[in-house]
Amino acid sequence: MLRWVRQQLGFDPPHQSDTRTIYIANRFPQHGHYVPQKFADNRIVSSKYTVWNFVPKNLFEQFRRVANFYFLIIFLVQLMIDTPTSPITSGLPLFFVITVTAIKQGYEDWLRHKADNEVNGAPVYVVRSGGLVKTRSKNIRVGDIVRVAKDETFPVDLVLLSSDRVDGSCHVTTASLDGETNLKTHVAVPETAVLQSVANLDKLVAVIECQQPEADLYRFVGRITVSQQTEEIVRPLGPESLLLRGARLKNTKEIFGVAVYTGMETKMALNYKSKSQKRSAVEKSMNSFLIIYLIILLFEAILSTILKYAWQAEEKWDEPWYNEKTEHERNSSKILRFISDFLAFLVLYNFIIPISLYVTVEMQKFLGSFFIGWDLDLYHEETNQRAQVNTSDLNEELGQVEYVFTDKTGTLTENEMQFRECSINGIKYQEVNGKLTPEGFSEDSPDGNIHSLMKEEELFLKAVCLCHTVQINADQTDSADGPWHANGIASPLEYYASSPDEKALVEAASRVGVVFTGTTGDSMEVKSLGKPERYKLLHVLEFDPNRRRMSVIVESPSGEKLLFTKGAESSILPRSKSGEIDKTRVHVDEFALKGLRTLCVAYRRFTPEEYQEIGKRLHEARTALQQREERLADVFNFIERDLELLGATGVEDKLQDKVQETIEALRLAGIKVWVLTGDKHETAVSVSLSCGHFHRTMNILELVQHKSDSTCAEQLRQLAKRIKEDHVIQHGLVVDGTSLSLALREHEKLFMEVCKNCSAVLCCRMAPLQKAKVVRLLKTSPEKPITLAIGDGANDVSMIQEAHVGIGIMGKEGRQAVRNSDYAIARFKFLSKLLFVHGHFYYIRIATLVQYFFYKNVCFITPQFLYQFFCLFSQQTLYDSVYLTLYNICFTSLPVLIYSLFEQHVHPHVLQSKPVLYRDISKNAHLGFKPFLYWTILGFFHAFVFFYGSYLLMGEDTSLLGNGQMFGNWTFGTLVFTVMVITVTMKMALETHFWTWINHFVTWGSIVFYFIFSLFYGGIIWPFLHTQDMYFVFVQLLSSGSAWFAIILIVVACLFIDVVKKVLYRHLQPTSTEKAQMEEDKGSVSSACDFAESRHRGEDNRQLLDPSSLPDSTYVH
């Protein structure tokens, strides 16, 4: 129990040594002195709190806020010394704020716990006691043998023991981990691969020794020792034996594996960043303003205390006849008295710090976040998914984004390749109704007879069908009487490919008549127009990024040795000696301009002598121990020459809807877009071009394939120099993962300088933690820009958690990104509405809310300070204590809360159609020092007008009440308070652009409520109140005509200057937003006039046509 508690609190690291020893099926040695290693359980935790730490951790986070901590101090002061106001005035609001915030954050974390429990409670099958046992994912222990079926996700990191195949291989897609959709082949060691049944596995006696968990997805070092009869067989284990949690089993019925890393020690979890409390820029601004107001407060308290003692230096004021000191007061220490008076003034003025600001902000964020979920423009009908808010603390941050970091696979693209066009022997073809049709031709009948292929077309399609790494679903067969049409057009085969392009090409070939039907042993089978052909696969020349091509050498049914090659045009065309090279080059450029991914296809025939020479060279290079890679590259170059060009293909990676428009809109809004992907260099660049991230006119700079620090630094310097020389044109930068690691190690500043001068950056071959490092690099740069990360897979989680705002896409790659994000949307295109409309509104609303709160509290407390000059700094309060408590809670709270929920200063359609307006609010423009200064000075100005206006207008000459009595101090205070409530409420009304019935109700209702409450409070003797200073004060005040005159005059005087300032600025120095508002107003006026005019015209026409029509008949045009 103690160990469990220690683990929950994070004090007990489960393992200590450098390696871990795992006994398969937990068969530990029988000798007595063996102590099993301790391993983590298989729970995944994305939540922030536990039952044990919620209260202390949440309280610690809340009291980090300046205002909360300050009010705690004030509350303690009120408890300890005799102060002018009751401790309840501070304690009650503080308790309310802390409780509401804790409930909100607790609820959000409960939702995370719920999501975790869903994952941890998923059913899994484990081999125990000679049979398969169904259990929950969280119960898997290190050493358990787990069974995973086809299309299931691996629940832990497993070492593969066996599969349903004889060779112990299986195919896996890691799309949710690294964004790669290709199938990866994993193999078991021969000794365990033969154990394909539960009974056989239960007898297995083996030990795995491997490294402790680390985050690198592509690294695993270990060994397995299998005990067979009397001997022990030791086999090495590498990444090809490790199946990672989050990856999915494909093309294999089932596998058995042993759990080696569990729970938060799996590579997927180690690539998550720990969830830290994200705080918005607005909250940081609020804390800065609070500190300034604290300084004002301390200044007022110190000044009041000093002036009090300056007054009391005169004996007549020190101890007047009506207020004699007690013996204890005369003998008490002057220093203690000074401190006591200072604290009393501190308590008297403490309302200048608005505690209700925090609770209003919390309510605004929580209630406001529902609008995102309710927005039908963010609803995706096909998948029935609406936008989701996981944390409401960052709503306004959506209006401050300067950098967007986006994943590529599944975020910008649908991850679906579609064959579009091809060029064969210099002629362009398109696929029409399952037939290859030359451009400009059209088929008369959609379903004609068997379409015969020309020799060149058939050879091209065979090259496409043979030169690839495509696999076929093991469940399917190629039986002749299977579900084939006579011409081989309809293909029921399910292909799995190492790249989506290959899959699209093989599928396209099968639709037009040449069908790849699978591999058996070393043979590849193809059906050409229904006729089966078998090609013997002799050699595969694997793809590599330097050559940018792949090849196969096959033996045709006639015994001929052929080389088929496909790759980038830059690597195929220069090596071709015959074929329509020039025409194909033109076609390839045309395809590329359409944003298609292009590949060229070529072939070569070998004589028996040439093939013998090639076979010998290949064998030597492949068995070389020294410089194997260089020797292989030389042999590949020797083989892949003197090619005969067959043609080229154009495949479209289907982009998500409106991705190009969204990226362009982000650019217009002043937001820089970086694409961070785990995909290949060529693929990533191609998608960047097609989605508008890179423009065709852009100068694309590359920092790729650097192995050493020096070459990387040199390249960076050259890039920086080129950018300075060509500063007129736009630059795009391409970086790969290895070069990025080198650049960040020593040359961070230089790298950042190059990146900031590029209008678009693409990072490819990125590991998940590298993505987070790039985001952190930008976040912590001197400008401290606000960053947003968006992705759909588990490989994006670290980046999503690192950025200021993390957005998950509800894609095809699991739910990890959505679970760990701040917001989740169904498609990338929804990002524009989320930022330009919701983000803009949230920021404007909360910026005004914060400034207004400080303004109304300055208005509230400054008259209290000025009043001390008239009462010998005796700490007499100007307002009644009930008014002190209710000012922020009741009288002025609702108008600003409703404003902060419903305000729309510009129509949403205008904001979305004019992304430039987003620049008006960037860099925290509305919460900068100038707006803050303006609101503060306005608050002080209004406070002076309230106090001295009331003082001058209700001086000795006009101070008679309706019953002939003179004004008292409570009547004066109530007059100031009445003017203040009306003015600050009207000020909020002036700020409101979007009026609904709710705005009208709370604005005028707040003023009416104040009057009704004051009449009731002062008109009745309440038995539970000790003193009732306000009895009949308000009624008598309102019975005075001069008081009404004073109220109206002071309110008009205060707001008149503000109105004049608004009008002048709007016409002399309008912002883009104000211009849009004026255009919108003109548009609505003109459309109303047009409507009225057309209606009159319609009526006139109708009366001309029908003289007998009634005079009051209406017509809507």
pLDDT band, residue 790 (cuts 50/70/90):
very high
Give the integer Cα–Cα distance in Å for 1012 and 1029: 18
Highest mean pLDDT among 562-566, 675-679, 693-697, 879-883: 562-566
Q: What is the pLDDT of residues 400-419, one digit of tens each?
A: 899 999 988 778 877 677 88
Q: List 258's β-bridge partners, or say none.
A: 145, 159
Q: What is the pLDDT of residue 767?
A: 78
User: CB within 8 A of 374, min separation 6: which ones?
Assistant: none
What are the distances in angstroms from CA 979 to CA 256, 982, 1036, 1048?
79, 5, 16, 8
Q: Which 8-state DSSP code applies to residue 1108?
A: T
Q: What is the pLDDT of residue 1031?
A: 64
Helix axes 969-991, 1041-1068, angle to 10 degrees: 30
Q: What is the pLDDT of residue 6?
A: 53
Give the integer Cα–Cα distance in Å for 733 and 704: 10
Q: What is the pLDDT of residue 726?
A: 78
What are the distances in angstroms from CA 464 to CA 458, 560, 561, 919?
10, 18, 17, 50
The beta strands (E) that lie in 900-1007 are given as: none
Q: What is the pLDDT of residues 631-644, one digit of tens each?
A: 888 888 888 888 88
Strands ordered across the beta sheet of 157-163: 131-136, 123-128, 145-149, 254-261, 157-163, 242-243
pLDDT band, residue 895 (cuts 50/70/90):
very high
pLDDT band, residue 1083 (cuts 50/70/90):
low
Q: What is the pLDDT of residue 416?
A: 74
Write down the H helix ranges in 319-449. Answer: 327-331, 334-349, 355-368, 370-374
8 Å CB contact between 597 and 501: yes
Average model confidence (pLDDT) for the chain? 80
Q: What is the pLDDT of residue 837?
A: 93
Q: What is the pLDDT of residues 1006-1017, one digit of tens each?
A: 999 988 888 888
Q: What is the pLDDT of residue 484?
A: 41
- Residue 645 in 3-state DSSP? strand
Instruction: Kindly tell me if the per-residue pLDDT of 8 is higher than 70.
Output: no
Q: List 1114's β-bridge partners, or say none.
A: none
Q: What is the pLDDT of residue 490?
A: 45
Instruction: Kindly tell me if the per-residue pLDDT of 721 is higher than 50.
Output: yes
Q: What is the pLDDT of residue 182?
A: 66
Mean pLDDT calculated for residue range 1026-1044: 70
Q: What is the pLDDT of residues 537-576, one digit of tens each?
A: 888 887 776 777 889 898 888 888 889 999 888 788 888 8
781's tokens: 């740069």
Instruction: Kindly tell me if the per-residue pLDDT of 1088 is higher than 50.
Output: no
Q: Which residue has the higher pLDDT, 802 or 547?
A: 802
Mean pLDDT calculated for residue range 140-161: 92
Tell me, rounded to whole angstroms, the distance of Cα 807 from its chain centroid. Answer: 2
Residue 432 sits at the vertex; the CA angle it makes with 431 and 436, to the nearest 5 degrees, is 50
pLDDT band, residue 349 (cuts 50/70/90):
confident
285's tokens: 């601004």
Q: What is the pLDDT of residue 846?
A: 92
Mean pLDDT calculated for residue range 515-529: 81
Give the integer Cα–Cα distance in Å for 146 and 684: 36
Spell 382-404 as b/e; 16+ CB within 10 A means b.
Answer: eeebbbbbbbbbbbbbbbbbbbb
Give the integer Cα–Cα distance in Å for 231 and 389: 59
Instruction: Kindly tell me if the per-residue pLDDT of 963 is higher than 60.
Output: no
Highest mean pLDDT among 102-111, 118-127, 265-274, 688-697: 118-127
Helix axes 355-368, 893-902, angle to 10 degrees: 30
Mean pLDDT calculated for residue range 321-345: 72
Q: What is the pLDDT of residue 261?
A: 94
8 Å CB contact between 929 and 1026: no
* Count of CB atoms situated within 10 Å of the CB of 163: 24
Q: What is the pLDDT of residues 579-588, one digit of tens each?
A: 888 888 888 8
Give the integer Cα–Cα distance in Å for 526 and 70: 78
pLDDT band, residue 896 (cuts 50/70/90):
very high
Give the integer Cα–Cα distance in Å for 11 and 795: 28
Q: What is the pLDDT of residues 596-605, one digit of tens each?
A: 778 899 999 8
pLDDT band, residue 1058 (cuts 50/70/90):
confident
pLDDT band, residue 843 (cuts 50/70/90):
very high
SS3 string, 269-287, reads HHCCCCCCCCCCHHHHHHH
The identity of residue 267, as a single letter, is: K
What are the distances in angstroms from CA 769 to CA 40, 104, 678, 800?
22, 31, 11, 11
Q: What is the pLDDT of residue 964?
A: 55
Q: Which pairs count as long-range contacts for 989-994, CB under 8 Å and 24+ apart, including other chains?
A: 989/895, 990/1055, 990/1058, 990/1059, 990/1062, 991/848, 991/852, 991/899, 992/899, 992/903, 993/903, 993/904, 993/905, 993/906, 993/1077, 994/902, 994/903, 994/904, 994/905
pLDDT band, residue 516 (cuts 50/70/90):
confident
Instruction: Kindly tell me if the per-residue pLDDT of 1103 is higher than 50.
Output: no
Q: What is the pLDDT of residue 194?
A: 87
Q: What is the pLDDT of residue 960?
A: 55
Mean pLDDT calculated for residue range 279-307: 85
8 Å CB contact between 871 and 947: no
Q: List 149's β-bridge partners, or say none.
A: 254
Q: What is the pLDDT of residues 1063-1076, one digit of tens each?
A: 888 888 777 777 78
Instruction: Kindly tell me if the per-residue pLDDT of 1002 is higher than 80.
Output: yes
Q: What is the pLDDT of residues 644-675, one digit of tens each?
A: 899 999 887 778 888 889 999 999 999 999 99
8 Å CB contact between 703 and 743: yes
Helix axes 88-120, 355-368, angle to 10 degrees: 30
Q: What are phi and psi of 1095, to 5 degrees?
A: -65, -45
Q: What is the pLDDT of residue 955?
A: 61
Percent of the chain past pLDDT 70, that is, above it, reads 84
Q: What is the pLDDT of residue 564?
A: 92
Mean pLDDT calculated for residue range 922-929: 85
Give the integer Cα–Cα distance in Å for 396 and 839: 6
Q: What is the pLDDT of residue 524?
A: 85
pLDDT band, residue 759 (cuts 50/70/90):
confident
Pairing of strands 157-163, 254-261: antiparallel
Catalytic residue check, 481: no
Q: Which of 109, 157, 341, 407 is catalytic?
A: 407
Q: What is the pLDDT of residue 487?
A: 43
Percent of the chain past pLDDT 90, that is, above it, reads 16
Nearest to 471 by CA among 434, 506, 501: 506
Instruction: Kindly tell me if the per-residue pLDDT of 1098 is higher than 70.
Output: no
Q: What is the pLDDT of residue 568?
A: 83
Give the integer Cα–Cα distance in Å for 423 and 1004: 73
Instruction: Kindly tell me if the per-residue pLDDT of 384 is higher than 60.
Output: yes
Q: What is the pLDDT of residue 477?
A: 45
Q: What is the pLDDT of residue 489?
A: 41
Q: Which residue has the higher pLDDT, 104 or 374?
A: 374
Pairing of strands 823-825, 805-809: parallel
